[in-house]
Structures are given as structure tokens and as C-alpha cells.
């Protein structure tokens, strides 16, 4: 081989690999940039307007409401029943809450000793009556014999005086027997009127003294409702007229008996007394209400409670529909809630009369959001 021949060139493999990598990176970068540019130039799809239910706000000068005045059922009579004589309670057939009628037995004292005394007194009476009858017959015979002189005046007077003494004895024993009968009657505690046994103070076997309460009886036939009414409304009530009362959620009609003439200086209220119908079963002290309609002279309007959003400083917010042609959006309006009745609120504020207001689903809407309207509720 010739010494002047050129040497073979050495290939730098590392430089070749780097060149290929750079070329690939450039291609990828251009591709990503082009895709991003295409994405930016594309228009996002438009969202459909949110369909909402609406209601119309109608301004009025006043509104009506029903005011409930609270009161209590009051029994016609309340009596603590007790015995007039001492003794041990033998039977007590009633319990707390028992309904009783006039003449029912409430309690019975042990009357064995009284009945024994009555039996003995009855025997004494029969014996005295027999002796009296015999003395009268003897006096009659002696009176007939004295005319013939067969009986002395002294003997006749003695027989006559004995008959008189026996008459007095019979009267005394008869009175004693009547006294025992009275005690026997007093050993039975009887219901004086129809009612309910409210309280039970003693038990069978208890030894009690006269005047110690056994039970408390509350009359049910003559119940009244005592209801506190504002002085302003009390002057409008008419004695003898029927008024609506509510007891345990049920409406009843009761006659107004009277209105107390005095007014409480603190509450500025008085008491109206109503006769509760006999057909109504109520408990003493049970709450009862009088419902009266009244007009409140406050301008405002009714909206469903579902149209209200909580606002600031005790106010509430509603979403008023703002329409421009066929486009609808919402604006916030602050309102004050004056009253709530069932599912509606009476409000006032800057809301113009005739405004359309979103009726429900406000949490899905932000002011300015395009919306579509359902038919007005």
C-alpha cells in the first residue's frame, strides 16, 4: 500500500444522535403549538339558558292575618272532698283520672263499729217501746179501776209517771238511732256533681281525721275558657256571640260570657271568658286559643317562601327578572319579611309592583346568568 494514501475519516456517532433528537423536539413543539393555536381559535359551545319558575309581586296597601290569643280551660268547680267524721278508709274505688257522676261512691270508712252500735240501739229501742206499751196498758186499767176504788191514787200516779218516763226513753233512743244513721251516711263519701277525680291524696287503710282531703274533684259539665286578649281587641268583642276557638288543633265555637273590665298595666290585656260546649271533652288547665282576623295597614306583597334568599342585617334577598327583548337575567333585590303564613311571606322593600321574581331554585342562579322563564305561578 502506498504511504501517500489518505487515512479513512472517523465518524462522530454522538453528534449524529444529538442532531436527530433536536429535529424530533422541534417537530413535536411545532405540533403542540399548532394544536394550541387551533384550540384558541375554536369557539366554545354556548350553554342553554337555565329555565326557572317565576311569580309576580303585587303591591298592596294592607294584608289580613289571623291572630291567636292563648288561654286555658277552667273547670266550673274544684272541690277537695273529705269526711266529716274520723275513721279508717275501708274502700276507695276511684283512681286519679276516674270519671264520676253525682251520687257515685268515692270512699267508704270502716263502719263495723257503727253498725254494731246501731244494732244495739235498735234492740234498746224495741225494749223501751215494749215497756212503754205495757205501762200505757197498765195506766189505762188502773184508771178504770180507780173509779171503783180498787186502785189508789198513788199507784195510778206512779204508773202514769213511769209511762211518761218510758216515752222520753223511747224518744232518746230513737234520736240516738237517727244519730247513728247520720254517722253511717257520713262514713260514705259521695260525689256531689259530675266530674273527674284529679288528685288522689290517701289510700285504703289510711286513718284520717275530719276535713282531711281524700280526693280532688273537678267539674266537667260547666267548663269555661279564660283567654287573654289585647285591650284594643277586647272592646270589639260582643257578649253572647259565638267565636272560633281551637282546642288540640280542632276548631270549636263557644259563646262569650263576659270580658273583664280591668286591664293588666304591664301586658295591656284583659280576660275574655267563654262557655265551652258540653260536648267538648277538655281537661282543666289545658291550653286553648281564640282566633281573630285582623287587617294590618302595612304596604307590601306576598311571595312564596321558596323565593327568599338569606341576606344581610336581617334582610332577605329575591331575584328579580330583568328582561331585554328575549334575553332574561336576574338582579338582586333586598326585602323585609313582615309576616309568614303557611308557605308565603309578606314582604316590603324596593321591589316594584308587577315585578317577575324567581319562585324557587335561586341557589342555581347567579346575577347576570341567562335564564328562560316558565309560566308564571
Task: Using DSSP bridges, classify how beta strands 50-56 and 371-376 pair: parallel, antiparallel or unpaired.
Answer: parallel
User: What CATH number belongs to 67-76+221-296?
Assistant: 2.40.30.170
What's the rounded Cα separation, in Å, for the pair 125 and 179? 13
The three cell numbers of residue 4 are 501517500
Q: What is the dihedral of CA 352, 353, 359, 363, to 10 degrees?
A: 10
Task: With CA atoms as reference, report the closest residue to 72 among 296, 235, 224, 264.
Answer: 224
Q: C-alpha cell of 99? A: 270519671
Residues 237, 292: Cα–Cα separation, whole Å: 10
The 3 state secondary structure assigned to 41-98 is HCCCCCCCCEEEEEEECCCECCEEEEEEEEEEEECCCEEEEECCCCEEEEECCCCCCC
Q: pLDDT of 262-321, one tens digit each?
A: 898 888 899 999 999 988 888 888 999 999 998 999 999 999 999 998 877 668 989 998
Whether the predicted pLDDT of 158 surpasses 50: yes
Which residue matches cell numbers 375554536?
Answer: 42
User: Do 291 and 244 touch, CB atoms closer than 8 A?
Assistant: yes
Query: Where residue 165 falls among pLDDT bands split at 50, 70, 90?
Result: confident
Tens digit of each residue's pLDDT (9 = 90 or more) over 38-73: 444 444 455 577 888 899 999 999 999 988 999 999
What are the domain boundaries of the chain? 51-62+298-376, 67-76+221-296, 111-186
The torsion defined by the Cα of 20, 24, 25 and 30, in degrees rounded to 10, comes to: 140
Provide, rounded to the nearest whole percent, the portion of the chain with pLDDT above 90: 47
Distance from CA of residue 218 to its chain's centroid?
19
Average pLDDT over the chain, rounded to an integer: 83
Beta bridge mates, 294: 65
Contact between residue 316 and residue 347 where contact means Cβ atoms under 8 Å apart:
yes
Q: What is the CATH number of domain 111-186?
A: 1.10.287
**Architecture (CATH level 2) of domain 51-62+298-376:** Beta Barrel (2.40)
Measured CA to CA, the distance from residue 186 to residue 191 in angstroms comes to: 12
What are the backbone dihedrals phi and psi of residue 100, each rounded to the nearest 5 degrees, phi first? -130, 160
Torsion angle, alpha carbons of 138, 144, 145, 148, to 10 = 170
Q: Return the DSSP state at 237.
A: -
Amino acid at each position: 500500500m502506498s504511504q501517500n494514501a489518505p487515512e479513512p475519516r472517523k465518524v462522530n456517532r454522538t453528534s449524529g444522535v444529538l442532531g436527530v433528537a433536536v429535529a424530533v423536539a422541534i417537530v413535536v413543539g411545532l405540533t403542540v403549538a399548532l394544536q394550541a393555536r387551533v384550540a384558541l381559535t375554536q369557539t366554545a359551545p354556548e350553554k342553554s339558558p337555565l329555565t326557572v319558575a317565576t311569580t309576580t309581586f303585587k303591591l298592596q296597601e294592607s294584608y289580613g292575618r289571623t291572630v291567636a290569643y292563648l288561654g286555658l280551660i277552667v273547670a266550673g268547680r274544684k272541690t277537695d272532698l273529705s269526711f266529716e267524721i274520723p275513721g279508717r278508709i275501708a274502700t276507695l274505688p276511684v283512681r286519679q283520672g276516674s270519671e264520676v257522676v253525682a251520687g257515685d261512691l268515692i270512699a267508704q270508712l270502716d263502719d263495723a263499729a257503727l253498725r254494731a252500735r246501731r244494732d244495739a240501739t235498735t234492740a234498746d229501742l224495741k225494749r223501751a217501746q215494749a215497756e212503754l206499751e205495757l205501762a200505757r196498758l197498765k195506766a189505762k186499767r188502773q184508771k178504770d179501776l180507780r173509779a171503783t176504788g180498787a186502785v189508789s191514787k198513788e199507784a195510778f200516779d206512779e204508773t202514769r209517771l213511769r209511762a211518761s218516763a218510758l216515752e222520753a226513753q223511747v224518744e232518746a233512743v230513737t234520736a240516738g238511732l237517727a244519730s247513728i244513721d247520720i254517722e253511717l251516711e257520713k262514713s260514705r263519701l259521695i260525689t256531689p256533681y259530675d266530674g273527674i277525680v284529679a288528685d288522689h291524696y290517701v289510700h285504703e287503710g289510711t286513718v284520717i281525721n275530719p276535713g282531711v282531703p281524700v280526693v280532688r274533684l273537678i267539674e266537667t259539665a260547666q267548663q269555661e275558657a279564660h283567654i287573654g286578649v289585647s285591650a284594643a281587641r277586647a272592646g270589639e268583642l260582643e257578649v253572647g256571640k259565638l267565636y272560633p276557638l281551637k282546642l288540640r288543633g280542632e276548631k270549636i265555637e263557644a259563646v262569650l260570657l263576659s270580658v273583664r273590665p280591668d286591664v293588666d298595666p304591664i301586658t295591656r290585656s284583659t280576660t275574655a271568658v267563654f262557655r265551652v260546649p258540653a260536648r267538648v271533652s277538655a281537661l282543666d288547665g289545658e291550653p286553648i286559643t281564640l282566633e281573630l282576623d285582623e287587617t294590618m295597614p302595612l304596604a307590601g306583597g306576598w311571595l312564596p317562601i321558596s323565593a327568599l334568599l338569606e341576606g344581610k342585617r336581617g334582610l332577605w334577598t329575591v331575584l328579580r327578572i330583568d328582561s331585554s327583548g328575549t334575553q332574561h337575567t336576574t338582579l338582586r333585590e333586598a326585602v323585609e319579611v313582615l309576616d309568614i303564613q303557611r308557605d308565603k311571606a309578606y314582604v316590603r322593600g324596593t321591589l316594584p309592583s308587577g315585578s317577575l321574581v324567581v319562585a324557587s331554585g335561586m341557589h342555581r342562579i347567579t346575577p347576570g346568568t341567562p335564564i328562560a322563564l316558565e309560566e308564571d305561578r
